[in-house]
Amino acid sequence: MSLRIEQQHCYFDTQTLHERLPASAVTIITDSAKAMSAVEIKGERIYITETEADALTVAGATDGRRHLKASGGDSVI
């Protein structure tokens, strides 16, 4: 997967998707099962790094991430 951000526009390139969107049309979500951030575009979930998620929010994307908290007693979180 490739993500490029230029002048508040996001370019997503995967094997099955090549999409250009204004950052304001993108919402970042948290996939709790995988503990990863992602965006959904045309029904496809694209996993992104936290650095990419932060860059998207700076460009104008909606930050819908949730902070996950570990439930195990030996967790450092």
Q: Is the confidence at residue 70, as pLDDT, over 80?
A: no
Between 47 and 76, the more confident residue is: 47
The number of C-alpha atoms within 13 Å of 66 and in the hemisphere containing its C-beta is: 9
Q: What pLDDT is recorded for position 33?
A: 87
List, for residues 16-59, the tens digit of each pLDDT value: 999 999 999 999 999 988 889 999 999 999 999 999 999 999 99
The helix/strand/coil state of 71 is coil
pTM for this structure? 0.82
Sequence-separated (6 or more) residues with CB below 8 Å from residue 77: 69, 70
Strands (DSSP E) contained in the chain are 2-6, 9-13, 18-22, 27-31, 36-41, 44-48, 62-63
Q: Report the chain's terminal Cα–Cα distance, integer Å.
A: 29
Report the CATH architecture of 2-63: 3-Layer(aba) Sandwich (3.40)
Sorted by where each begins, the domain ranges of the chain are: 2-63
